[in-house]
């Protein structure tokens, strides 16, 4: 499961490319979350991961609030450069 929020980022330097900042919340199995982060990190040349915070759901809250296999949550900020 992926949730995204977009924030416009204005370039301060004249001539520098403008960018957009995406705040992504990803939930899933550990391997799937890491694969998603890996794919974004290796997107060239226009995306850059600014921050990543990984957490694991407690077993009791996992059983109540998540579907099977969605124990890991990653909160990321990804900067995407545009022309």
Over residues 4-56, the pLDDT tens digits come to 676 665 555 555 567 778 888 888 998 999 998 888 888 766 888 889 999 98
Distance (Å, whole) CA 16 – CA 59: 46
Residue 27: CB atoms within 10 A of its CB come to 19
pTM for the whole thing? 0.64
Strand, coil or helix: what is 10?
Answer: coil
pLDDT-derived band at 62, boundaries 50, 70, 90: very low
Contact 21, 51 (CB under 8 A): no
Distance (Å, whole) CA 83 – CA 12: 14
């Amino acid at each position: 499961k992926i949730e995204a929020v977009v924030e416009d980022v204005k370039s301060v330097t004249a001539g520098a490319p403008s960018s957009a900042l995406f705040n992504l919340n990803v939930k899933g199995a550990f391997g799937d979350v890491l694969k998603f982060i890996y794919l974004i990190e290796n997107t060239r040349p226009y995306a850059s991961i600014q921050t990543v915070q990984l957490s694991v759901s407690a077993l009791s809250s996992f059983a109540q609030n998540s579907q099977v296999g969605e124990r890991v949550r990653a909160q990321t900020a990804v900067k995407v450069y545009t022309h």
